[in-house]
Structure 1
């Protein structure tokens, strides 16, 4: 068994595993500055992960556990997707220091863009494309709001691409490395895009929210791209419904989301032409 650690602010993770390949696979996605070959002995870790074989045979032998809580089993060829989903589960289920919303977050020129969206909306695809055009990635999955400042806390990790979005990224960014393409998972074919150096370099720098964007890719849309202002009441309701811990924050959560919506512009984005959509966003947001 080996012990490794992942120091991705604001959380640190200690991983116990008997996989001979997990560290090298993670090294393709995380830099040496955050992925450590051994935990720091005096450090108190936010999450202690047990990711080892639990049963004999070849059928889904690896179990992802946090403490005594079991998350999911994984085949040997699906170690990375299950690991990434497991970290999302840990943060969504157990951290309470930030108000957390299921959304991608990026920043450019000091202003942050929040993109909440349901599965299949194209959120991760758009997040990846903007990151590759120079936006700083804060997170592909977690919008973490600091309750003391209202600023957005980065949680930089690989961008998860699914199914057709993998080919979309490689079409618009030929030659960009896409790692750990894995077929036949519970979410179809998944792959991962490593965050840019800018994103890693500024992984401790919070950002001020400026826009909330609800993207929706629609292959049969009448117009190539359409951008609409969103009513603030609708935006507030949707953010609350997509928060992992809004109920825990109670009145403070309502106040945080109200301030967020009041101090940002909200839009609904519908598109079928990706190139025109990116041009429009650069004009409107920058």
Structure 2
């Protein structure tokens, strides 16, 4: 049976059509009622229309995630949630052009925002989750959206994606925190999700001023338990450009936006193998 529902994850709205009997209820554990709604409005113009239905008979990866005529990925029934979250990231990174988008986590505290670009395996999502659970407001775990009109950072609040060992790290440092939809054997290993805090949802439309850019790197064999280095601004600018989804689309405007961002923020590289000492140092430096 086909069902329709909508996701109002500002600044993007999504209408989803699916024949999965569990997708809506599974997502309701990650998104609040004001964001995930069972009845799409026929008068609303949605940014994305997602078709997430079975395409072929049989038991092997029957669900297909598509928007329009573009196919993203197939999924087994037990991997519906990871594929849905990855699919939304794909929609935004590939098709939205109103914001300059960088692959990075973004959090805010006391009016100042922290941007954390980092490659997979660096501990970015783990650090993002830990800071959120310590009172920082989550803007995004995956996407730094720069508003070209004012240079401010636009929230895109979604669940925090945790992978493999990071799931246990979060539960060790924050006993009692609830982690949802632990899914083994994905192409990224075991994946689970952390629901954003109430503060993050309440301010999902409130932009933030960028103050710091931090390049985290968890290194189990590091000589020091934690080390923080100032990053050269030229290196920071180059790395941000390389990790932007649509820098080429913005062309000269994109260069100007990133130049302004780097000029008006402090940039650091963080290397650590002791999470508690690292968190204490960050609170001293950034707060």
Specify the TM-score bucket, using the shorter chain as the normaliser. Answer: over 0.9
SS at match of 2:79: helix
Following TM superposition, by how much is the alpha carbon of 1:184 offset from its aligned partner in structure 2, in angstroms? Answer: 0.2
Following TM superposition, by how much is the alpha carbon of 1:256 offset from its aligned partner in structure 2, in angstroms? Answer: 0.0
- CA offsets 1:131-183 (integer angstroms, 9 cap, x no match): 00000000000000000000000000000000000000000001100000000
Q: Which residue of 2 aligns with 1:53?
A: 54
Name stretches of at least 5 consecutive residues in structure 1 with no aligned partner. none
Q: Which residue of 2 aligns with 1:268?
A: 269
Q: Which residue of 2 aligns with 1:250?
A: 251
Q: Which residue of 2 aligns with 1:173?
A: 174
Q: Which residue of 1 aligns with 2:25?
A: 24
- TM-score normalised over the length of structure 1: 1.00
Following TM superposition, by how much is the alpha carbon of 1:38 offset from its aligned partner in structure 2, in angstroms? Answer: 1.4
Q: CA RMSD in A?
A: 0.2
- CA offsets 1:68-120 (integer angstroms, 9 cap, x no match): 00000000000000000000000000000000000000000000000000000
- CA offsets 1:258-286 (integer angstroms, 9 cap, x no match): 00000000000000000000000000000
* 1:83 matches 2:84: yes
Q: Which residue of 2 aligns with 1:216?
A: 217
Equivalences for 1:133-152 in 2 at 5 Å? 133-152=134-153
Name stretches of at least 5 consecutive residues in structure 2 with no aligned partner. none
SS at match of 2:259: helix
Q: Which residue of 1 aligns with 2:105?
A: 104
Q: Which residue of 2 aligns with 1:192?
A: 193
- CA offsets 1:3-40 (integer angstroms, 9 cap, x no match): 01000100000000000000000000000000000111
CA distance in 2, matches of 1:153, 1:66: 23
Following TM superposition, by how much is the alpha carbon of 1:231 offset from its aligned partner in structure 2, in angstroms? Answer: 0.1
Following TM superposition, by how much is the alpha carbon of 1:47 offset from its aligned partner in structure 2, in angstroms? Answer: 0.2
Q: Which residue of 2 aligns with 1:2?
A: 3
- TM-score normalised over the length of structure 2: 1.00
